[in-house]
């Protein structure tokens, strides 16, 4: 399920990222840079700090389209992550090659401590309703697909993010929770007031996402309506591209 989520997020993020933006963030590959990212991956705070003292740009993008901050979060390298945040040059709002924020990856790892650390350093959390017709990923989308619900619970308590925000293809946090996250996340979003009747740009509902993961029965018990004409056990059309 996690690999499906990764492909889904990647496809949607690439679809919503302009060619000019990608061109401006061309990944680099040198032995020195590979060693830099290795320090982050191995969670070597001393290695990260030594390279920063030697003049390493903390925001450079590597061959895999990630920056060191993103790379540390992806590998759950807490000490390297903290060392990067200590450097005032680290841009916590810098995006990776597919347009992801470090804050989103911290939410995806369900680490409220990392989320709070990024916010304290200036990361911006999406607040207020999403403008009508707008399409954008939010921290709530990523929290809804995490393996746990700690970050999601905090976001819902703060009432900061739009519950029904549409991603770059119009998918809501509830859709992603039912398709890729824990069922507890879906229940929490429903209890918070997430709409059950929305469709994304592919015409898929929250029930369709649940059906693709074999969760249509528990989704219906939560009150998610089955689309007219859909039969139990019938899969939604496979129109998504991964």
Question: For every residue of 43-65, which 3-state class applies, written as one string?
Answer: CCHHHHHHHHHCCCCCCCECCCC
Check residue 50 and give its pLDDT.
Answer: 98
Helix (H) or strand (E) holding 82: helix 78-86
| Interatomic CA distance for residues 74 and 72, integer angstroms | 5
* pLDDT band, very low/low/confident/very high, at 242 (cuts 50, 70, 90): very low
| Interatomic CA distance for residues 1 and 8, integer angstroms | 10
DSSP 234: P
Least confident of 50-59, 140-149, 169-178, 226-235: 226-235
Check residue 6 and give its pLDDT.
Answer: 52
Check residue 27 and give its pLDDT.
Answer: 60
> What pLDDT digit, counting tens, does each position of 87-97 carry?
999 999 999 99
* pLDDT band, very low/low/confident/very high, at 103 (cuts 50, 70, 90): very high
Cα-based distances in Å from 190 to 38, 163, 187: 41, 9, 5
> What pLDDT digit, counting tens, does each position of 198-220 carry?
999 999 999 999 999 999 999 99
What's the average model confidence in pLDDT over 22-32? 64
Q: In the chain, helix, strand, coil percent, each to 5?
A: 50, 0, 50
Q: With beta carbons less than 8 A apart as the criterion, state whether 211 and 238 touch.
A: no
CA-nearest of 129, 204, 125 to 164 is 129
Check residue 8 and give its pLDDT.
Answer: 53
């Amino acid at each position: 399920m996690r690999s499906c989520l990764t492909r889904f997020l990647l496809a949607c993020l690439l679809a919503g990222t302009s060619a000019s933006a990608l061109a401006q963030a061309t990944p680099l590959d040198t032995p020195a840079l590979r060693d830099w990212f290795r320090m982050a991956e191995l969670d070597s705070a001393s290695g990260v700090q030594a390279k920063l003292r030697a003049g390493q740009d903390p925001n450079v993008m590597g061959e895999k389209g990630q920056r060191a901050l993103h790379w540390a979060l992806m590998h759950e390298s807490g000490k390297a992550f903290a060392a990067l945040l200590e450097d005032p040059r680290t841009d916590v709002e810098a995006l990776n090659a597919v347009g992801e924020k470090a804050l989103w990856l911290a939410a995806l790892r369900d680490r409220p401590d990392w989320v709070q650390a990024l916010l304290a350093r200036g990361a911006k959390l999406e607040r207020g309703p999403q403008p009508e017709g707008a399409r954008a990923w939010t921290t709530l989308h990523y929290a809804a697909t995490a393996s746990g619900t700690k970050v999601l619970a905090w976001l819902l308590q703060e009432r900061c993010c739009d519950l029904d925000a549409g991603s770059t293809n119009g998918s809501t946090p509830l859709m992603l929770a039912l398709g890729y996250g824990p069922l507890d996340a879906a229940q929490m979003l429903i209890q918070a007031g997430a709409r059950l009747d929305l469709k994304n740009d592919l015409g898929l509902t929250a029930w369709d996402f649940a059906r693709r993961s074999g969760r249509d029965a528990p989704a219906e018990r939560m009150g998610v309506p089955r689309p007219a004409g859909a039969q139990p056990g019938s899969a939604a059309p496979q129109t998504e591209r991964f």
